[in-house]
Structure formats: C-alpha cells, structure tokens
C-alpha cells in the first residue's frame, strides 16, 4: 500500500450508490462488489488524494478501516496509484447503435402459422442482429429448420432457441441442429425430465435442458442476481435507455407485432404489415427511453446499471414507472425475497393473471 | 458505395459496415483476386466513393501441384501480378477518395529504424537501441542497459514448412545465458534497452484525432515484456488516458512526417513518469481500443468515409 501517492479508480470500475449500501461495478471483469457507503464516500470524494491525506481527513480515527478498505481495493485491482491523476479521465458513458432494431423475440406455439421467410426478410431490412425464438409447445424439427434456413444470408447472425421438449428429439438432434446452422448460438430445452448441459461437437454451442416449463410469455420478466451484467455496453445503455426493451421488436404467438410479447400495445399483425412498417407506428418506442433512473425503487438500487428490466409486469399496473413485479430485491433492506408470495404483489399478480408462476 | 478490403470475419470491419449502412451508403466487399475485375468495373462507372482497408485479407488462388516449392513460386508470381493491379488502382482512380487504411503490401511497410530516428529528431524520448552483429557487443549492451530486448527489424518471422513452424512478432527479453549460446557473429539484430514501465499507452491516431488508453500490465508477470500476451482471467486494466498536450503535438508531427493519416503508436510510462516512444504500427487494430475506451471509433471512421471526398 502506498500511503503517499494519490490513488485513482480505474475508469472501468464504477462505484454506484444505493439506498443502503453501494457497489463497485467492474465493467472489464464482469464483477459486482458490494461495498459500504463509507467506502463509496472515500473513493468518490477523496479520489486523487493519498491514503495519508484521507486518514488525516478523518482525524486518524479510522486508520485501520481505511487500510483495510485499500487492501480490498488493491486486491481487486479497482484502484491504482499515480502522480498524474489528472491524465486519467472518467469513462465516457455514451451509448449508440447503428440501427433502430438490434434484437427480436419470436414466440411460437401450435397455433403460430408464420411465414418465416417474410419475417426474416423484415428483420434483414431492419438490420436486426439477434433473434430469440421461444417455443411453448413441442413442434416438429422441420419448423425450426425452415426458420433457420430463412435466416441464412440475413443480418440475423445470432439466434438463441428456447424450446419446449419434444419426445421425438433427443440431445443429439439438437446438437446436429447447432452444428448444421452456424447462426445458432445457444439452445435451451424446457420441460425436460432432467437438467443436462453439453456443447455441440463441431461449433461448441451450449445446449442445456431444464425441468422448468415455460407455458407462455407470462413466464418472462424475472429479475435475478445472476442475470446482472457488468460491462461497459450495458452500463452505458442503462444510463438512458431501458435495458430490456430498447431496440427490441417482437412477434407474439398470435403474430402480433409488439415491443415485447407481454406488453399490451400491438402495432399490427405480421400477416398484414411488415416489421419495418410496424416500427414506424406511433408509440412503438414508448418504453425505450425509460431508464432505471426513472423507475421507482430501482432508482435507489445499487444494481440499477447492471440489472435487466421489465416493463410488462410491474408492481403497479398502469404506472409505467413502477418497479418490476418479478424482482424480489429490496434496496432499502438489502434483502432478496421470493416475489411471487409477497403479500404486496398479489394484486398485481392477479391483474396480470399470472396463474402458473413459472 | 464504399469499397471494403479486409479479413473475413473481422468484427471491427463488420461494425464499420453497419455504421456505413446506417448512414445509408452501400458497401462493396472484396477479397479475392477475381474481385479486381468488379472493382475496375465499379470504378469505371464512378460508383466508388471511399475505401476502407484493414489488414491483409486478399485471398490468392491455390495452384494444385504436387511440388510445394513450385506451388509457392506460382502463388508468389500470381500474387505480385495482383498487387500490381491494386497498386495501379490506388495510384490512379482511387487516389483522391476518402480512405482509411493502407494496403498491406511490401513497399508500404514502415522502416522501424527510420521511425525511431524521426521520433528522436522531434524530441520524443526513445529507449536506447542498436543494431548488433557480434556477441561481444551484445554482452556490452547487456551490461550497460541491464535488461535488453530483441525486436524484429521488419515484420518478424513466419516460417511454416513440413518440418518446422517458426513464428514470432513478439518482443523477447535476452538473458546473459541466451547470449552465451549465441554465435560470435550473427545477422543484424535490433537490440533495445528494456525500460522499466508502470504502464503502457496505446494511441490510435486518425486524421489528427487521438484516442488513448493506458494499459496496466505490471501486476501480471507474463505480460511485463509484451502486453499483447495478456492473461485471460483477469485481463489487464485498460482505461482511457489524456496525453499531455506537448506529446499530442509531437505525435501529430511524427505522423505527418511519416505521411500516415492513421496508425497506432505505443508508448511506455516510466516510474519517473516519463513518456517513452516505442513504435508506430500502420496496420494497428483499433477495435479493442475503441471498446475499452467506449470511443466509438468505428462510427467516426464510417462517418468520414461517407462524407464527400476530397475532390
Ligand atoms: S419487458 Fe418483461 S416480459 Fe417483456 S421481454 Fe422484457 S423482461 Fe420479458
Ligand atoms: S430493485 Fe430494480 S434495479 Fe434493483 S434489482 Fe430489482 S429490478 Fe433490479
């Protein structure tokens, strides 16, 4: 520990203050460190000072704590010492993306009779890159194959499949699918008898099975600690935009074009309107600019810039700025509880008709 | 439309193409010898408005023969012919267009020694260096400078035959034990003083603009000599950096002297906080720098390529 050299926080390690405690978001190593407010104050208000000066500022009453804090900061490589702190600027948190749409959710069940070629044509016109396909009922492999064939030679280069277990298909079949279509970047099979995971032989695509059953779009919207992402892109986007809905387009099971399949607003049906046209409808981007700083409770949460969001299921239906319903975290008590049994949430659960909590 | 010549599957190039498309311009991607005909065609129609070049992406035809040596010579012959066409296009029709990058052909390469000399003349601090031919001299330098490194004078080595694979562009430290094993006399070798550093600076220069990152590699032993070999688990810290004004001016002068409007430059910062210039790389990759600094360099390059040309 260097007591006499000014310290500086690495610009990609950003302290964020919550209601009761703070965090250090390490955007380079995808880590979130919980820290007390006292440490937050030291690193933000005394940045550019030496440890000796900081100790003196606290009248040398807390020397031991301060040493301990700096041991932690050094150990995690969150700070460094330099005589030229003025040459190290903060990270610029601007966020930009070349196109209006970056990702798409496509929901499928037995009734979804879609023309994949025209959907993929629309996504290609939008320059969409990511596609998440969510299948709620078992469909023949040929359906997925025709979808993946339609995606070839389009801008949709990363496709994630979350599909219902199909008795006719075993893991080898899914593996073959991954190794045949290079755009597939992950497969999850839900409603499977056991939890398995493996990688495909050729392209090493992750394939896993889960026992959980996804009945329909109401299963979406869960906020969990392990969904947090601590990287520059998410952190910067979260400053001004919604981390789930920004630049997203979706097609629900009935072919309705929406921002997300769970939201009420529809912008036409794929049988009658093209995807690019739908994005031009008034209100299509309504949720895109709702960032965590505008959302009740989240705005006081230390995880606000590494968390995902949900605007489809909120605690107070009708208030688009209210907290995600399916988040069990309370930034005032710092506790995680099961959201679905929380007494305060029952009215909203009923409102959204979330009968089967998946 | 913007002519793109780059490696296939290069993420940075894909981003450039996306930004160009978002501005509403078309791209025309080439990397085969047979594409030269299409380029000439588009040139004659006046369709090419700007050019983006990144790395060596040209694919040359493979001639099927059983004799590997014959195959090599045939390939070289065809390659040089293709290069002549490229060079002609760039000296004539494509010359006045907005462009990013340099064609990675012999003749476009920078001479490291000339660059060091130019830097020194501009008053940039450079590490001690010498071209060494004899073991005795190497020993003397090792004694004077304490730690020395060996760098490739040109592009490093890349020899792949049925019997051996020798590749290397990296900088190596030379120990006294190494020197003891050398011949008395050897071919010219660039020896540089290993200057102690607290961090490295990578600068990307593009049309008078500078983007800089500080790279902290000290905590990670394996990367002390060359930070490109960095540890995957805890990647070295890379944070934006503001170059002192005087250094910025010198970099601009150096680049103009070398007639480069883009390139990356390496510096080290010594424990005494001195900035020591190491080298310029005219084909430097800027993707990681753009991401680490959240600079959006790709967008700026695309915007430049889409503005009307110098003509
Ligand atoms: S808004 Fe909620 S329901 Fe919709 S996609 Fe996002 S998380 Fe899922
Ligand atoms: S309170 Fe908001 S920001 Fe915090 S964890 Fe829950 S959803 Fe995320």
Q: Is pLDDT at A215 greater than 70 in this prediction?
A: yes
Rounded to two decimals, the ipTM of the complex is: 0.90
pLDDT of residue B309: 59
Q: How near does any CA of chain A get to the CA of B20, in Å? A: 9
User: What spacing in Å lies between the alpha carbon of A304 and ligand 1's midpoint?
Assistant: 16
User: What spacing in Å lies between the alpha carbon of A221 and ligand 1's midpoint?
Assistant: 5
Do residue A127 and residue B238 have CB atoms under 8 angstroms apart?
A: no
Please state, in angstroms and rounded to a whole number, the distance separating the CA atoms of residues B129 and B121: 15
Q: B164 or A295: which carries more pLDDT confidence?
A: A295
Write the residue with the smallest CA distance to atom 4 of ligand 1.
A260
Q: What is the mean pLDDT of residues A137-165?
A: 96
Do residue B22 and residue A127 have CB atoms under 8 angstroms apart?
A: yes
Bridge partners (DSSP) of residue B125 are: B276
User: Which ligand lies nearest the alpha carbon of A328?
Assistant: 2
* CB-based contact B230:B217 (threshold 8 Å): yes
Roughly what angle, to the nearest 10 degrees, separates helices B35-44 and B68-91? 10
Q: What is the mean pLDDT of residues A301-309?
A: 98
Q: Which of A249, A228, A262, A264 is nearest to A124 (CA)?
A: A249
Best probe of the B interface among A11, A158, A182, by most B CBs < 10 A, is: A11
How many helices and strands, by DSSP H and E, does chain A display?
A: 9, 15
pLDDT of residue B311: 46
pLDDT bucket at A246, cuts 50 / 70 / 90: very high
Q: How near does any CA of chain A get to the CA of B9, in Å? A: 12
Please state, in angstroms and rounded to a whole number, the distance separating the CA atoms of residues B133 and B190: 9
Length of chain A: 358
Q: Which of B283, B237, B277, B245 is nearest to B264 (CA)?
A: B283
pLDDT bucket at A245, cuts 50 / 70 / 90: very high
Do residue A99 and residue B299 have CB atoms under 8 angstroms apart?
A: no
Q: How many CB atoms lie within 10 A of CB B85?
A: 14
Sign of the CA dihedral running B75, B80, B85, B89? positive
Residues with Cβ < 8 Å from B152, sequence gap 6 or more?
B168, B169, B190
Helix (H) or strand (E) holding A188, with range, is strand A184-190
Q: What is the mean pLDDT of residues A338-353?
A: 92
Q: A89 or B103: which carries more pLDDT confidence?
A: A89
Residue among B18, B216, B294 minimizing CB distance to A91: B294
Q: What is the mean pLDDT of residues A253-265?
A: 97
* CB-based contact A286:A259 (threshold 8 Å): yes
Q: Is pLDDT at A82 greater than 60 in this prediction?
A: yes
Q: Is pLDDT at A133 greater than 50 in this prediction?
A: yes
pLDDT of residue B33: 80
Tokens at B121, concatenated: 């003349």
Residues with Cβ < 8 Å from B140, sequence gap 6 or more?
none
pLDDT of residue B164: 76
Which protein residues are within 6 Å of ligand 2, measured from CB? A 223, 292, 297-298, 301, 303-304, 307, 323-324, 327, 329, 331
Q: Lowest-confidence range among A70-84, A279-293, A338-352, B225-239?
A: B225-239
Q: Are strands A158-164 and A130-135 parallel, antiparallel or unpaired?
A: parallel
Return the ∠ at Cα B165 (arms to B163 and B168), rounded to 5°. 160
Per-residue pLDDT of chain B (311 residues; tens, 9 = 90+): 999 988 777 889 999 999 999 999 999 988 888 888 888 888 888 899 999 988 765 677 777 778 878 888 888 888 888 888 888 888 888 888 888 887 666 556 688 899 999 999 999 999 999 999 999 999 999 999 999 999 888 777 777 677 777 776 677 899 999 999 999 999 999 999 999 999 999 999 998 899 999 999 755 444 445 544 445 567 889 999 999 999 999 999 999 999 888 899 999 999 999 999 999 988 778 999 999 999 999 999 999 999 975 44
Q: How near does any CA of chain B get to the CA of A90, in Å? A: 8
Please state, in angstroms and rounded to a whole number, the distance separating the CA atoms of residues B169 and B154: 9
């Amino acid at each position: 520990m260097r007591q006499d050299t000014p310290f500086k926080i690495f610009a990609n390690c950003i302290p964020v203050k919550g209601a009761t405690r703070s965090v250090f978001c390490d955007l380079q190593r995808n880590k979130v460190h919980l820290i007390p407010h006292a440490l937050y104050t030291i690193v933000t208000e005394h940045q550019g000072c030496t440890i000796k000066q900081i100790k003196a500022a606290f009248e040398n009453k807390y020397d031991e704590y301060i040493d301990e804090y700096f041991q932690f900061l050094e150990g995690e490589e969150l700070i460094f010492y330099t005589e030229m702190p003025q040459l190290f600027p903060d990270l610029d948190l601007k966020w930009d993306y070349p196109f209006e749409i970056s990702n798409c959710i496509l929901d499928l069940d037995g009734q979804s009779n879609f023309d994949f070629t025209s959907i993929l044509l629309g996504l290609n016109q939008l320059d969409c890159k990511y596609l998440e396909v969510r299948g709620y009922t078992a469909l023949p492999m040929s359906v997925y194959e025709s979808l993946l064939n339609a995606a070839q030679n389009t801008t949709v280069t990363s496709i994630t499949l979350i599909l219902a277990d199909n008795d006719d298909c075993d893991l080898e079949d899914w593996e073959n699918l991954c190794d045949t279509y290079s755009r597939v970047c992950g497969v999850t099979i839900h409603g499977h008898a056991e939890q398995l995971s493996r990688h495909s032989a050729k392209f090493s695509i992750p394939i896993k099975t889960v026992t959980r059953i996804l009945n329909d779009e109401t299963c979406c919207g869960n906020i969990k600690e392990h969904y947090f992402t601590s990287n520059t892109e998410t952190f910067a986007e979260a400053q001004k935009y919604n981390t789930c809905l920004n630049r997203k387009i979706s097609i629900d099971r009935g072919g309705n074009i929406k921002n997300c399949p769970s939201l009420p607003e529809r912008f036409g049906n794929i049988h009658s309107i093209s995807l690019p046209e739908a994005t031009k409808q008034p209100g299509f981007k309504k949720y895109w600019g709702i960032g965590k700083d505008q959302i009740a409770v989240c705005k006081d949460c230390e995880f606000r810039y590494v968390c995902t969001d949900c605007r489809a299921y909120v605690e107070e239906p009708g208030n688009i700025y209210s907290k995600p319903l399916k988040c069990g975290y309370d930034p005032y008590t710092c506790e995680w509880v099961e959201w679905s049994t929380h007494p305060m949430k029952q009215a909203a659960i009923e409102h959204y008709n979330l009968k089967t909590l998946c | 439309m913007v002519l793109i010549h780059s490696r296939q599957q290069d993420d940075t190039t894909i981003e450039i193409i996306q930004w160009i498309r978002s501005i509403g311009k078309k791209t025309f991607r080439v990397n085969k010898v047979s594409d030269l005909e299409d380029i000439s065609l588009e040139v004659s129609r006046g369709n090419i408005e700007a050019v983006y070049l990144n790395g060596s992406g040209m694919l040359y035809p493979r001639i099927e023969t059983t004799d590997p040596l014959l195959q090599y010579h045939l390939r070289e012959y065809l390659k040089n012919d293709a290069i002549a066409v490229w060079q002609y296009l760039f000296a004539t029709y494509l010359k006045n267009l907005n462009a990013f990058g340099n064609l990675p052909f012999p003749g476009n390469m920078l001479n490291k020694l000339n660059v060091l000399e130019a830097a020194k003349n501009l008053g940039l601090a450079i590490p001690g260096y010498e071209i060494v031919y004899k073991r005795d001299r190497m020993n003397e330098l090792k004694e004077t400078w304490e730690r020395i490194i060996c760098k490739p004078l040109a592009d490093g080595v890349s020899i792949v035959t049925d019997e051996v694979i020798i590749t290397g562009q990296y900088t190596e430290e030379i120990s006294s034990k190494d020197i003891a094993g050398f011949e008395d006399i050897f071919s010219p070798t660039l020896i540089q003083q290993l200057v102690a550093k607290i961090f490295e600076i990578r600068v990307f220069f593009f049309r008078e603009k500078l983007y800089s990152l500080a790279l902290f590699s000290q905590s990670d032993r394996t990367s002390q000599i060359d930070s490109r070999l960095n540890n995957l688990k805890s990647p070295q810290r890379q944070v934006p950096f503001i170059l002192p004004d005087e250094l910025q001016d010198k970099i601009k002068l150096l680049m103009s002297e070398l007639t480069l409007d883009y390139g990356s430059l390496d510096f080290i910062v010594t424990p005494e906080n001195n900035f020591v210039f190491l080298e310029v790389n005219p084909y430097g990759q800027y993707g990681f720098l753009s991401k680490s600094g959240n600079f959006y360099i790709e967008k700026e390059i695309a915007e430049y390529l889409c503005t009307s040309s110098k003509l």
